Structure 1
Amino acid sequence: MRATARAHPIQGLVKYHGMRDEELRLPYHDSISVCTAPSNTTTTVEFQADREEDAYVVDGERLEGRGADRVRTVVDEVRDRAGLDDRVRVESENNFPSNIGLGSSSSGFAALALAATEAAGLEYTLPEVSTIARRGSSSAARAVTGGFSDLHAGLNDEDCRSERLDVPESFAADVRVVVAKVPAYKETEHAHAEAADSHMFEARLAHVHDQLAEVRDALREGDFDRVFETAEHDSLSLAATTMTGPAGWVYWKPDTIEVFDAVRELRSDEDVPVYFSTDTGATVYVNTRAAYADEVEARIGDCGVETDVWRVGGPAQVLDDDAALF
């Protein structure tokens, strides 16, 4: 009863903030993201009847504490649905840095949920798998369905699941994401936990539905500027809410601001189609089109940060057994 799966992390375009139910990780509103490739997480899961306790290993380190608890939440949900009592061995590897704002929890829990359901013999659609991944991280639901995906808000698994959005193939193929890696550790859970205590939270709820409608329509039309201009504005809205919570979390660093300035100069002075976006962290997604990727990467590199160029990634997938990590 072993299976291996791979998933790509997400960049939030219209991001969720705060949870109405922390146990089921039910967000207050819908959220839309795009998966980024070739960045990925590979995870192998095996249910073992003779094992005495679960073991969770990520990038060679055994998880303890809150990290192990979050993995156990997903594993227990699979065990309950499959009627299993076996202990489990989980090993996971990322091919990109974690905890710097690149969505490693999204790809991690997406790969875990898909590998675990496959190993348990559950025959689920990807939207159904997304409801299990959501228990580890709401953003993981969208990493399950991949591409450009929409996690619908709801109070149950029938409603709160991810759906892949239809976009023109030529649009998706043209998107490039220059990743400006700003290495600053971040803790997303704390920001979500206190989001509703910010005096800006109600203001965010008042306008986020307009942003969701804008991005859905722009994606359907394949309108690059509308999609990523809205994502840029949503990043600023998210940061305003986060920074005005009780702890006053400020994730951006001087390098982050320098990248923002470089993006705006490229756009205003050189008419380059380019927009910045951040999730909860200091690292910046710089969204542009294929013809401009080299120029944008060179300019962002001048800011003194490490860069990668990524594309749109697909859904989580089950791998052949020869890809297993153990």
Structure 2
Amino acid sequence: MFSANDFISATYSNTIEKGSFTWSAPSNIALVKYWGKKDKQIPANPSVSFTLNNCKTITKLTFVKRQNDTSKCAVQADFSFDLFFEGKPKEDFKPKIQKFLERVHLYLPFLAAYHFTIDTQNTFPHSSGIASSASGMAALAMNFMSLEKALNPEMTDDYFYQKASFLARLGSGSACRSIKGSVVVWGTHANIKGSSDLFGVEFPNVIHENFKNYQDTILLVDKGEKQVSSTIGHDLMHNHPFAERRFAQAHENLDQLSTILENGNLDEFIKIVESEALTLHAMMMTSMPYFILMKPNTLEIINAIWKFRNATKIPICFTLDAGANVHVLYPENVCEKVLQFIKDELVGYCQNGQYICDEIGIGSQLIINN
């Protein structure tokens, strides 16, 4: 397992003047939630997520060597980049990218030596309420790592992917779970081999057939901007009266969920996943200042899911991220019945009737290497 110091690059064995890469990286949905962080994007508790397949960011990174190479200035690097979202300049995204470059420059000293054109797009609707920071930062990290691998062809795959996850985390914490694997653990946990606060790792144990091709239908309840950002929400955990117990609970739930993912117990899976979702929002409602991100239709959907599950015994459940949208999780073998239920009873609670059908994926993928 690598340490942060292992990711500080020394000299490179190759030179490259220009080129481009295109990577896709998916969003992910946490089953055990990460809420609260320390300095340098270190999580206050471990989390585990399903990697999605269809909701992804596709980012093309074009680079050309600059005439004035400032890469050797370790104190104050001068970065040069243009940013496009869906083909149009996106100036309001640039400060976040600038901050990301400043954070990772120690680990990617070549960044100041190039001018970059970053052209990014999402496969899910813009302003849909689905957080794109995880997929966006993961895709960008993969592109930068492809460039570093071109400069250092001897790099191993293990180093490549763990450093990519490490870098993605510095852009957006949950982005480290979007690099590689269908089920990803982030955060040090005593019973998860190889787990680390620095990067996400693939769940190390065999996953039961019940969870292969698991489905996630995302109900878009509210596509507006959240009234409280996730960054502020995380910070409010520092003085939260229930923080320490919550962090301990996350460790306990991850222990239980690890066993469940191996033995395929869907009833126990539902209990942990739904409890985690409600606990996340309970932390928001009991912080100071307190806030509520669920909407009335979020609660209507939750109650409808409970009623449907009790009546049919179909193992459908929900989870939530830090917002109003509802992720409906269920095994592939009940897909037809659940989708009919969603169309008949839940679509009316979605903004403009919108929902997205997704499933477990495998992580980031290289699309073009020029």
Distance 2:144 2:36 in 1: 27
1:105 corresponds to which of 125, 130, 133: 133
The question of whether the paired residues in 1 share the 8 Å contact of 2:60 and 2:118 is answered with yes
Q: Deviation of residue 153 (structure 1)?
A: 4.0
Larger Rg: 2
State which of 342, 355, 360 in structure 2 corresponds to 1:307.
355
2:49 partner SS = strand
C-alpha separation in 1, matches of 2:232 and 2:126 = 17
Residue type matched to 1:44 in 2?
A: K
User: Do the aligned partners of residues 6 and 50 (structure 1) sit closer, same or farther apart at CA in structure 2, a change above 3 Å counting?
Assistant: same
Report the 3-state secondary structure (helix = DSSP H, G, I; strand = E; otherwise coil) of the residue aligned with 1:36.
Answer: strand
Matched, 1:185 2:225: yes
Say yes or no: does 1:69 pair with 2:95: yes
Shift of 1:209: 1.1
Change over 3 Å in CA distance of 1:256–1:104 after alignment to 2: same
- Aligned partner of 2:331 in structure 1 is 289
Q: Please say if 1:54 is aligned against 2:89.
A: no
Query: Per-residue displacement from partner, 1:60-106 (whole Å, max 9, x unpaired)?
Result: 454445x4333234434555434322232211110113555534211
1:203 to 1:79, Cα distance in 2 relative to 1, 3 A: closer
Instruction: Map Cα deviations across residues 168-204 of structure 1 (whole Å, 9 max, x no partner).
Output: 3733434111211112322322211222233232331
Could you list the per-position Cα deviations for residues 20-47 of structure 1 after superposition, in whole angstroms to 9, with x for gaps in the alignment? 11xx211111110011112211111123
Q: Does 1:147 align with 2:178?
A: no
Superposition pairs of residues 1-326 of structure 1, within 5 angstroms: 1-21=19-39, 24-50=40-66, 53-64=80-91, 67-76=93-102, 79-84=105-110, 85=112, 86-98=114-126, 100-120=128-148, 121=150, 123=155, 124-153=159-188, 159-165=197-203, 166-168=205-207, 170-182=209-221, 183-186=223-226, 187-301=229-343, 302-303=345-346, 304=348, 305=350, 306-321=354-369
- Code of the aligned partner of 2:225: Y
Aligned pair in 2 of structure 1 residues 98, 31: CA closer, same or farther (>3 Å)? farther
Percent identical pairs in the alignment equals 24
RMSD, aligned α-carbons? 2.4
For 1:184, give the aligned amino acid: G
Structure 1 CA distance for aligned equivalents of residues 264 and 115 of structure 2? 46
Q: Distance in 1 between matches of 2:96 and 2:47?
A: 21
Residue 50 (structure 1) shift: 4.1
Q: How many residues align?
A: 317
Task: Give the Cα separation in 2 of the matches to 1:99 and 1:240.
Answer: 25
Matched residue type, 1:160: L
Q: Distance in 1 between matches of 2:124 and 2:206?
A: 26
TM-score normalised by structure 1 residue count: 0.88
Provide the C-alpha distance between the structure 2 equivalents of 1:29 and 1:82, rounded to a whole number of angstroms. 27
